[in-house]
Structure 1
Amino acid sequence: MTVIERSPRWVASISVTVFALAGTVFPFGPTPTWARIAAVGVTAAIAVALARNRTSGRNLLAGLLLIAAASAVIGYGGSATFSWFSMCILAGWAAYALPERVAFGLAGVLCLILGGQWLLVPDTGWAAWIAGTLFTSYACVQSRRQDQLMQQLKQTQAELVVRTAAEERARIAREMHDVIGHALTVSTLHISSARLALEEDPAEAEKSLAEAERLTQAGLAEVRAAVGLLKGQSIQTPLPGLADVPELIESFRRAGSEISLRNELGELTATQGLTIYRILQEALTNATRHAPGAPVTVELTQNAISTQLVVGTPARPSSPIRSGSGLTGMRERAEAVGGALSAGPHQDGWRVEAVLPR
């Protein structure tokens, strides 16, 4: 909605009419009755047009000229008449409702009219009308600018709320995807092991089922935490970080995955630690799902400017890896902390590499 659509036309129209009537009741000099009626009629017609129609700069200019003529007729060109207020109000409303160039142009035309009256009828009162018109136009332009700034601020705030909510939903969706994907993948491996060992090694089957149960419960706890975030609740369970990486590796090893770890990382912030953990979790889940039984190498290294995570497997995925929510989520996590992530074929295998700034 633009300023001109929200501008109070009826206020300007009523004001124009009131001051035109005042000029008729209290004229500057002896004015014929027909002149008063004609002047008021012209002014009232302009006021009605302003209230009912979309007003252009050309229409406002015509209105100013007609009101100026009417005011001159009512007061015989004198400055001491209320009718000149009509022109000031119309100029101010134009300054508020129309583009600045048009508004200042109309104000200039009005000042020329007043200046011409000053030359025809020397009177210091014209200086007051010129100053008042310029001040009214300037004040209304400033008011319009403030109004536009407030509207822009409200729009920006609304967009920020929507964007923040979308980013928060995306973050929670990534958390739930990674947590559920990891828990289900590793639990499935344990259940498969238990099924195979059920007859020959019941103890091993029981151990695998217990591990699957533990992983499922841990996954449910993290899902509840994510749902709590959606409800605006505070997080009671601490989020995983770099210190939890060894246990993450062990959970996959217990499920039968062959994983080698090279960890040379020092201290990381909580955000960096969570990012490394989640990317590694998703990368291992994908490796287990798409290249089951293949050995996996994990390298965590640092230099003066960055932290690197590399997860590789010498085997190509047995099923095509599409750029779904998993790869997208890993990339979004890296980019959220100013880093980058690449994933794709490497030599004869598959490689995921994340680089995060220190």
Structure 2
Amino acid sequence: MGASAALALFMVLGIVMTRRPLEVALPAAVLAVAVGALLAWRGPQDWRLLAGLAVPVVATAVLGHDQSANLVWMTSCVLAAWTALVTGPRLAGAAWGGLVAVLVTQLALDRGESGWFAWIVGTTFTSVACTFARRLRVTNERLTAAQAELAERSRAEERHRIAGEVHDVIGHALTVSLLHIEGARLAVDDDDPADARERLAEAERLTRHSLEEVRATVGLMRADGDTAPLPDARDLPALVESFRRAGARVELHVSGDLAAAGQARGLAVYRILQEALTNATRHAPGEPVQARVEVIGSEVTLEVLSSGAAAAPALEGSGLRGMRERADSLGGLLTAGPVAQGWCVDARIPR
């Protein structure tokens, strides 16, 4: 609307300063203002804008003919800015060419008047400046949209990461707690309350520990004001021991220094082993499981072999998919599937 208002202003000044009769100047100016208001209202940004602006150009030539001092020629700058700001460079160049052609024609008809050079330079400068201004605006809009997309993608990835962490923690906690509760029920049936109390206490301890892990995963603060640390490779023996206390037959063999795996790789190895043992305990309860961890050379290797005859799932579940994603995110590789001895999960993560 600003461009149409400026167009109306300079048309009024053109009527005041023109040498044309009022009965010629007034209809031309009114038609130009009406067309400009219509274009501003409809807002075309293609060839229809150029076609419509031809009317104000003709009106300007009528009012300002043989008068380079007539301020109606400011409409050339206004129209150049209008097209350059709302259309692409090609249409803006076409509009500039048409405006300059009108001014050059006036120069050819009135060679003794040097003011036409100023209007040509002013129109050219306005068109170039506004073209760059539009390009800068479009670039800024694209950058803003890209930043918003990256922020949304980051939030989605964070939600996905937290969902994976919570899945692993809750899956492990429920599986092992269920084993303890089942053992406690059997102990009650066998009239062994001491064993039942011990198993229920272990289930309670595991549940509390899992809740702390969930709080740490989602960034909550504990009551003492410190953030609970996430587990790493150094916590693998404690993880295996929690399954043993629940009655699972798990053996862990470690080669190398677990602390050398680092926090990120250590957490990935911990979660992969946690999910692998949870799946083995759920799908092949009572069967022996062999876990091997090597922190040697340029990679961390984890192998979990379950002796149970577990069938390969028809579809890859979220647990197996989560293990693959953990390995992939660190540039590693994870394979899982049936082998001659049962079911094997093999992960290799570079250091």
Check whether the contact 1:315–1:349 (CA below 8 A) recurs between aligned residues: yes
Counterpart residue identity of residue 222, structure 1: E
DSSP 3-state at the match of 2:338: strand
Q: Which is further off, 112-121 or 278-287?
A: 112-121
> Residue in 1 aligned with 2:159?
169
Q: Which is further off, 160-169 or 286-295?
A: 160-169
**Distance in 2 of aligned mates of 1:57 and 1:194:** 78
Alpha-carbon distance, 1:14 to partner: 0.7
Check whether the contact 2:221–2:228 (CA below 8 A) recurs between aligned residues: no
Match of 2:294 among 289, 301, 304: 301
TM-score calculated relative to the size of structure 2: 0.90
Match of 1:340 among 328, 333, 338: 333
Where in structure 2 are the equivalents of 1:45-56 lying within 5 Å? 45-56=34-45
Q: Does 2:121 match 1:131?
A: yes
> Residue in 1 aligned with 2:265?
272
Counterpart residue identity of residue 266, structure 2: G
**Distance in 2 of aligned mates of 1:284 and 1:68:** 80
1:145-177: CA deviation from partner (whole Å, max 9, x where unpaired): 121122112212222222222222222222221
Q: Does 2:225 match 1:239?
A: no
**Distance in 1 of aligned mates of 2:331 and 2:210:** 28
Aligned CA distance change for structure 1 residues 173 and 292 (closer, same or farther; 3 Å): same
**Distance in 1 of aligned mates of 2:252 and 2:326:** 22
Where in structure 2 are the equivalents of 1:306-325 lying within 5 Å? 306-317=299-310, 320=313, 322-325=315-318
**Distance in 2 of aligned mates of 1:270 and 1:185:** 26
Q: Does 2:73 match 1:80?
A: no
Check whether the contact 2:50–2:95 (CA below 8 A) recurs between aligned residues: yes
> Residue in 2 aligned with 1:250?
241
Alpha-carbon distance, 1:290 to partner: 0.5
1:84-127: CA deviation from partner (whole Å, max 9, x where unpaired): 11122112110110111111111122112211221111122111
Q: Does 2:207 match 1:216?
A: yes
Aligned CA distance change for structure 1 residues 60 and 126 (closer, same or farther; 3 Å): farther
Q: Which is further off, 208-217 or 272-281?
A: 208-217
Residues matched between the structures, number: 346
**Distance in 2 of aligned mates of 1:230 and 1:51:** 56
> Residue in 1 aligned with 2:83?
94
Aligned CA distance change for structure 1 residues 65 and 238 (closer, same or farther; 3 Å): closer
**Distance in 2 of aligned mates of 1:234 and 1:53:** 59
5+ long unaligned stretches in structure 1: 1-9
Check whether the contact 1:72–1:78 (CA below 8 A) recurs between aligned residues: no
Alpha-carbon distance, 1:181 to partner: 1.1
> Residue in 1 aligned with 2:343?
350
Check whether the contact 1:67–1:87 (CA below 8 A) recurs between aligned residues: no
TM-score calculated relative to the size of structure 1: 0.89
> Residue in 1 aligned with 2:147?
157
DSSP 3-state at the match of 2:229: coil
Match of 1:20 among 11, 14, 19: 11
Alpha-carbon distance, 1:320 to partner: 4.4
**Distance in 1 of aligned mates of 2:164 and 2:10:** 66
**Distance in 1 of aligned mates of 2:91 and 2:312:** 67
Where in structure 2 are the equivalents of 1:66-77 lying within 5 Å? 66-77=55-66
Counterpart residue identity of residue 233, structure 2: L
**Distance in 1 of aligned mates of 2:273 and 2:227:** 23
Alpha-carbon distance, 1:234 to partner: 7.8
DSSP 3-state at the match of 2:261: coil
> Residue in 1 aligned with 2:282?
289
Aligned CA distance change for structure 1 residues 165 and 137 (closer, same or farther; 3 Å): same
> Residue in 1 aligned with 2:134?
144
Where in structure 2 are the equivalents of 1:179-194 lying within 5 Å? 179-194=169-184
**Distance in 2 of aligned mates of 1:337 and 1:181:** 23
Q: Which is further off, 57-66 or 286-295?
A: 57-66
Alpha-carbon distance, 1:40 to partner: 1.0
Counterpart residue identity of residue 157, structure 1: Q
Check whether the contact 1:307–1:357 (CA below 8 A) recurs between aligned residues: yes
RMSD between aligned alpha carbons? 2.4
Counterpart residue identity of residue 212, structure 1: A
Aligned CA distance change for structure 1 residues 76 and 352 (closer, same or farther; 3 Å): same
Check whether the contact 1:16–1:87 (CA below 8 A) recurs between aligned residues: no
DSSP 3-state at the match of 1:351: strand
Counterpart residue identity of residue 77, structure 2: C
Alpha-carbon distance, 1:42 to partner: 2.7
Alpha-carbon distance, 1:212 to partner: 1.7
DSSP 3-state at the match of 2:294: strand
